[in-house]
Structure 1
Amino acid sequence: MEPFTTLSAVAAPMPMQNIDTDKIIPARFLKTIKRSGLGVHLFDPLRFDKDGKEKPEFVLNQEPFRHAQVIIAHENFGCGSSREHAPWALLDFGIRCIIAPDFADIFYNNSFKNGILPIRLPRAVCDQLIDDTRMGGNARVSIDLARQVVIRPNGEEIGFEIDPFRKHSLLNGLDDIGQTLQHGARIDDFETRRRQSQPWLPSTTAA
């Protein structure tokens, strides 16, 4: 997983509540178990018409927001079914951070596991950041995870809270497997001692 340390990027405004996972990635695109290739279908019902043509009014079809790495939205982002394809699609498109007043719990947890930073900020602050996006290409928002601040284009710093363990995992690019592999030496030592003390048990390591 790619570490998340600092990010300075175009932020796309999505002042909508209850953006659910079926809007993020519709069920018909869930036939793959690969994490790549889903970005082209991100927000498919909002980005494209029935003939597959872009809807010019949707923010990610507009410059400079089609290159956004940050989304700023309203309450309950990621609600609906618990599909991990949703953060996969966001990440494949290039989204590394989502700022909203709150998130659906499962989506919130899945985002951290896939290298996306979800930041909870009050609705009034999100609206300020959405107003900043009117600056177009100059509307770059910066995020410093180590310092736990969002930096507006005018330089104002806004603090945010994050669980220390999740912060550590993102800063070091550790998903669930990476966290386990940090203890590789201890696991190997345990397996060696177990084989010596209980040789009749089958080995749990690959041949």
Structure 2
Amino acid sequence: MSTYTHIEGSLMPLPVENLDTDQIMPKQFLRIVDKAGLADGLLYDLRYDGAGKPRPGAILNDSRYRQAKVLVGGANFGCGSSREHAVWGLRQYGFEAVIAPSFAEIFYSNAMNNRLLLVQLPRALINDLVTRSLADPTTRVSIDIDSLTVKLPEGGRSAFPLAARHRTMIMQGIDTIDLTMQDEADICAFERRHFADRPWAAVF
């Protein structure tokens, strides 16, 4: 995947607290052997009623937000099960980043492995983004991954936390295995030293 340092786009407000992965990607969409078609299952029960008809008030059914690249969520976003399909569905739908007050730990790791940037901002800023995007669907933000800052609609900026390894993974489009393999030479050198000092531990 190509290296990138910048995400810019309009917002889709979904300020649901404790939105879990079962809601993000319901179980009936897990019966696949690849990642194809998961965008159709994204937040399905929030988008459609029991008869499969679109819910009129669902934000994902509002065409004005269809091109949004950034989802603005509530606290503890992505809690629940560890299903990676939730992240795959968000990426397939077109989201490149999620902004929320906090994220579930396993979801956070899954997101970083799949180049879905998670941006943690104070609740006051989240509330302002939700209010602005509900009033104006064209509201945009600009996220600079290099400097770890978000340019807000009114022109201000806010920093957000991101571990150095996650920053590298997002910018280079790599997962934890790729990140580990960048140190392959050092790992192999350590292995040689280890077994040279402890020949009885070598496996033949």
1:136 aligns with 2:129: no
* Secondary structure at 1:98 match in 2: strand
Which residue of structure 2 aligns with residue 205 of structure 1? none
Which residue of structure 2 aligns with residue 172 of structure 1? 172
The answer (yes or no) to whether the contact 1:3–1:174 under 8 Å persists in 2 is no
The answer (yes or no) to whether the contact 1:99–1:118 under 8 Å persists in 2 is yes
* Secondary structure at 2:11 match in 1: strand
Partner Cα separation in structure 2 for residue 183 and residue 28 of structure 1? 40
Which residue of structure 2 aligns with residue 37 of structure 1? 37
Partner Cα separation in structure 2 for residue 26 and residue 4 of structure 1? 31
TM, length-normalised to structure 2: 0.86
Q: What one-letter code is carried by the residue in structure 1 that aligns with 2:127?
A: D
Which residue of structure 2 aligns with residue 106 of structure 1? 106
Aligned length: 198
The answer (yes or no) to whether the contact 2:97–2:116 under 8 Å persists in 1 is yes
Which residue of structure 2 aligns with residue 127 of structure 1? 127
Partner Cα separation in structure 2 for residue 72 and residue 103 of structure 1? 12
The answer (yes or no) to whether the contact 1:4–1:115 under 8 Å persists in 2 is no
Aligned CA distance change for structure 1 residues 2 and 53 (closer, same or farther; 3 Å)? farther
Moved more, 8-17 or 172-181: 172-181
The answer (yes or no) to whether the contact 2:11–2:137 under 8 Å persists in 1 is no
The answer (yes or no) to whether the contact 1:132–1:152 under 8 Å persists in 2 is no
Partner Cα separation in structure 1 for residue 60 and residue 68 of structure 2? 8
**Cα deviations by residue, 1:50-75 (Å, 9 ceiling, x for unpaired):** 23232221111113212211111111
* Secondary structure at 2:102 match in 1: coil
The answer (yes or no) to whether the contact 2:12–2:137 under 8 Å persists in 1 is no
**Cα deviations by residue, 1:116-172 (Å, 9 ceiling, x for unpaired):** 1111111111001112212222x0111111111111222211111111111111111
Partner Cα separation in structure 1 for residue 2 and residue 18 of structure 2? 28
Aligned CA distance change for structure 1 residues 13 and 170 (closer, same or farther; 3 Å)? same
- For structure 2, the 5+ residue unaligned runs are none
Partner Cα separation in structure 2 for residue 31 and residue 2 of structure 1? 30
Partner Cα separation in structure 2 for residue 180 and residue 105 of structure 1? 20
Aligned CA distance change for structure 1 residues 109 and 95 (closer, same or farther; 3 Å)? same
Which residue of structure 2 aligns with residue 71 of structure 1? 71
Partner Cα separation in structure 2 for residue 191 and residue 15 of structure 1? 49
Which residue of structure 1 aligns with residue 156 of structure 2? 156
* Secondary structure at 1:64 match in 2: helix
Aligned CA distance change for structure 1 residues 110 and 50 (closer, same or farther; 3 Å)? same
**Cα deviations by residue, 1:25-55 (Å, 9 ceiling, x for unpaired):** 0011112242332111100001112232322
The answer (yes or no) to whether the contact 1:2–1:115 under 8 Å persists in 2 is no
Partner Cα separation in structure 1 for residue 64 and residue 149 of structure 2? 23
Moved more, 83-92 or 43-52: 43-52
- For structure 1, the 5+ residue unaligned runs are 203-207
* Secondary structure at 1:72 match in 2: strand
Which residue of structure 1 aligns with residue 81 of structure 2? 81
Partner Cα separation in structure 2 for residue 163 and residue 64 of structure 1? 34
Partner Cα separation in structure 2 for residue 23 and residue 94 of structure 1? 18
Partner Cα separation in structure 2 for residue 159 and residue 54 of structure 1? 37
Moved more, 37-46 or 152-161: 152-161
TM, length-normalised to structure 1: 0.84
Q: What one-letter code is carried by the residue in structure 2 that aligns with 1:107?
A: F
